[in-house]
A = this chain, B = another copy of it.
Amino acid sequence: MTTSDDEAAQWWATSITRIAPGEIDHRGVPVEELIGRTGFVEMIWFMVVGGTPTPSQTRLLEAALVAATDHGPQAPSIAIARMTVTCGVGLNGAVASGVNALGDVHGGAGEQCVVMLDDAIARVADGESWDDAAVAIVDEHRRRSAYVPGFGHRFHPRDPRRDPLLGLVSEAVASGDVPGRHLEAALAFERALDRPGRRPVPMNIDGATAVIYGELGLPAPLARGLFLLSRSVGILAHAWEERQSGVRNKGPLPRTVLPAYRPGPEAG
């Protein structure tokens, strides 16, 4: 290999996978030692994060992945995948467009919530109380936006995924498997958001999984990254269901209803 081949090879250097004829290693482990021995959830951790999770870590990650697969066709990502698959593209195209919609607003709350939890933990490490830290951070968020990421749900007064997820985290804290500080932070935010005379604002799926990702020590952007893998399951399930329906060019409304026309300032 010449110097300049080497430069091209280095341009694409990676720690994740090495191939040679007849050989594939992932992070230094031959793939044939992984197949049949490593679970898919451990494999996700191994590939994305690196290293091998403990059984307790695997159990928490697995619960987070199971919990967030779907919320039905009102979610833009799901409707988009269902519509796309009726337009004559493969399942890959439909899943791609569904995943593409998981942006800052639709898929980003978990990532933003981990940042917020990390912030509270840092303040507490500096001597603040959990409740003071939570109130201060909520106030900052409220100044910029009506939303506190990870808390409250437009549709569910109490998100049914909150309790089982937090239950698993509590067990892992009790057995000393995870530190428990992201859980404490999140509960402090719930208290800070619970104001007399107002509807309570409990953790939603993004908040509860942010607690898990935080307890697992993962960087905030992976809260979105791992959510993508979870929601891809629901996106695929819906794309496949829709494809079997045989509908062509599915629009958002039944064919008997036309979008309204609202004359704009430019119309004559």
Interface residues of A (CB under 8 A from B): 1-32, 34-36, 38-41, 43-44, 46-48, 50-51, 59, 62-63, 65-67, 69-77, 79-80, 82-84, 86-93, 95-97, 99-108, 154-161, 163-165, 167-168, 221-222, 224-226, 228-229, 232-234, 236-241, 243, 248-268
Contacts and interface: CB of A to CB of B under 8 A. Distances in A.
Nearest to A35: B164
B73 A14 contact: yes
Given A47-B233, A73-B252, 18 more contacts: A2-B4, A4-B257, A14-B72, A14-B259, A15-B264, A48-B240, A72-B258, A75-B251, A76-B84, A84-B97, A86-B105, A87-B104, A87-B106, A89-B92, A89-B103, A89-B104, A97-B100, A221-B243
Given A67-B35, A103-B92, A222-B240, A6 B73 contact: no
Contacts of A22: 156-160
Contacts of A237: 16, 47-48
A62 B39 contact: yes
Contact of A99 (B51, B96, B255): B96
A188 B71 CA distance: 44
Contacts of A236: 47-48, 225-226, 228-229
Contact of A232 (B35, B100, B228, B241): B228
B92 A107 contact: yes
A267 B167 CA distance: 27
Given A84-B80, A237-B48, A228 B91 contact: yes
A30 B160 contact: yes
Contacts of A101: 83-84, 87, 89, 92-93, 97
A47 to B, nearest CB: 4
A108 B8 CA distance: 28
A252 B79 contact: yes
B3 A259 contact: no
A112 B255 CA distance: 25
Given A7-B256, A62-B39, A252-B252, A71 B17 contact: yes
A1 B90 CA distance: 36
